Amino acid sequence: MIEAIWKEVTLTPRFPLGTSKGVLHARTVWYLIAWHKERPGIRGIGEAAPFPGHSLEFPADVRTKLVELCANTADWEDRLKRDLLQVPSVRFAVEQCLCDLRASGSKVLFPSDFTLGRQGIPINGLVWMGDKATMRQRIQAQIDGGNRCVKMKIGAIGVDDELELLAEVRKNFSARELTLRVDANGAFNHRDVMPVLERLAALDVESIEQPVGQGLYETMAEVCANTPLPIALDEDLVGLHVRGAKQDLLDHVKPQFIVIKPSLVGGWASAQEWIDLAGERGIGWWITSALESSIGLNAVAQWTATLPINRPQGLGTGSVYANNVPSPIAVKGGELRYVPEVAWDLEQLQLSPVPGPAAPKG
């Protein structure tokens, strides 16, 4: 029999995390911890990490489901196919927790050359919004760190300044030397989006994520049909839980790429369905984190390492928190690496003690 508890944790960013939807100064995540009653020292841990401004879940939804799951652990597998579809971050936490429990709490969820430290995952360096001078410094730091794919958040400080920063990069690095991506988080509208896309294309930008707002399917379909550079859907994937809805989106909008965040779309099984449907339609994809702590990032990264990767992934977010869980995950030279010699340190989670088995009578 499985027993379980949950814990709510606030993560503190090292710097304000700016997007076109606002600035994030703190991040709340929830850990689901489970163990077998007869083996209380071996724990599986999963992370629920809905993302403010992107997820359709509310904290109350997460807490309610975690309370229910811990009160009754007998039907977890069945609930993955039922009500947990509506709370994708919790669904992913259950997937992680059960997988880690099967792995004896080792956090090695998908053994591979990645978890052996033999192979890294190519990633894009992420440039968060800030003032122009700060963003210029952050771009240079990503390049100096060995990244040959840099993704910049746009849509907050003014498109002219943002494009000027990208133009500065292009003066020093050609598209063959450095791939540029941008993420608008839905910052533009039907009137202003096409001129921006044309200016980005002139700078050999590889792609733009979610140029217009979530749910504006008619506008996005028109943009994808006429764009001078590839469009990647991101937020538009959130909230679509059944196969038919996913098919309808891809068939109607016809994006060039989709960006898949397992924490926001419902975990590994749902993410794999998106990959399969995209592949059937000749649509490219990549996987990104959703600002999880090391627990969730590890789960996303290890699964991603099992996929046929042919472009940089968006997994370089583990270092943004001052109080992240110390782990073997590290960014080195434009890759996410797993360093097996480094041990997990879960002490700071201060998990409630798990009772041991009852002493035999007699």
CATH number at residue 310: 3.20.20.120
Nearby residues of 71 by Cβ (< 8 Å), 6 or more positions away: none
Q: Looking at the structure, do residues 134 and 9 belong to the same domain, yes or no?
A: no
- Which pLDDT does position 21 carry in this prediction? 65
Q: Looking at the structure, do residues 178 and 323 belong to the same domain, yes or no?
A: yes
Classify residue 362: in a domain, yes or no. no
> Among 254, 261, 332, 361, which one carries the catalytic annotation?
261
Residue of 214, 175, 182 lying closest to 196 (CA atoms): 182
Q: Looking at the structure, do residues 145 and 286 belong to the same domain, yes or no?
A: yes
pLDDT above 90 for 48: yes
Domain boundary among 60, 83, 106: 106
CATH of the domain at 63: 3.30.390.10
Q: Looking at the structure, do residues 25 and 164 belong to the same domain, yes or no?
A: no
Classify residue 344: in a domain, yes or no. no
Could you give the CA distance from residue 65 to residue 83 in angstroms, rounded to a whole number?
9
Mean per-residue pLDDT over the chain, rounded: 93
Classify residue 99: in a domain, yes or no. yes
Total of domains in the chain? 2
- Which pLDDT does position 356 carry in this prediction? 43
Q: Looking at the structure, do residues 129 and 98 belong to the same domain, yes or no?
A: no
247, 277 contact by CB (below 8 A):
yes
Name residue, tokens 């977010």: 317
**Encoding tokens for residue 187?**
């910052």
Range of the domain at 256: 121-338
Classify residue 87: in a domain, yes or no. yes
Q: Looking at the structure, do residues 191 and 300 belong to the same domain, yes or no?
A: yes
Q: Looking at the structure, do residues 157 and 33 belong to the same domain, yes or no?
A: no
- Which pLDDT does position 19 carry in this prediction? 66
- Which pLDDT does position 359 carry in this prediction? 38
Classify residue 147: in a domain, yes or no. yes
Q: Looking at the structure, do residues 35 and 166 belong to the same domain, yes or no?
A: no
- Which pLDDT does position 362 carry in this prediction? 37
Q: Looking at the structure, do residues 66 and 188 belong to the same domain, yes or no?
A: no
Residue of 290, 236, 320, 274 lying closest to 47 (CA atoms): 290
Classify residue 53: in a domain, yes or no. yes
Active site residue 37: no
Active site residue 261: yes
Q: Burial, 125: exposed, middle or buried (Cβ in 10 Å; 0-12, 13-18, 19+)?
A: buried
Helix (H) or strand (E) holding 172: helix 159-172
Task: Write out pLDDT tens, residues 61-95.
Answer: 999 999 999 999 999 999 999 999 999 999 999 99
Share of the chain above pLDDT 90, in %: 86
Confidence of residue 360 (pLDDT cuts 50, 70, 90): very low
Q: Looking at the structure, do residues 222 and 308 belong to the same domain, yes or no?
A: yes
Domain boundary among 106, 132, 165: 106
Q: Looking at the structure, do residues 97 and 149 belong to the same domain, yes or no?
A: no
pTM score > 0.75 for this model?
Answer: yes
Q: What is the DSSP string of 109-167?
A: -S-STTTTTS--EEBPEEE-B--HHHHHHHHHHHHHTT-SEEEEE-SSS-HHHHHHHHH
Classify residue 348: in a domain, yes or no. no
19, 53 contact by CB (below 8 A):
yes
> Among 65, 107, 153, 246, which one carries the catalytic annotation?
153
Classify residue 361: in a domain, yes or no. no
pLDDT above 50 for 278: yes
> Is pLDDT larger for residue 284 or for residue 128?
284
Query: Going by DSSP bridges, is the β-strand pair 2-11/27-36 parallel, antiparallel, or unpaired?
Result: antiparallel
Domain boundary among 49, 82, 106: 106
Q: Looking at the structure, do residues 147 and 210 belong to the same domain, yes or no?
A: yes
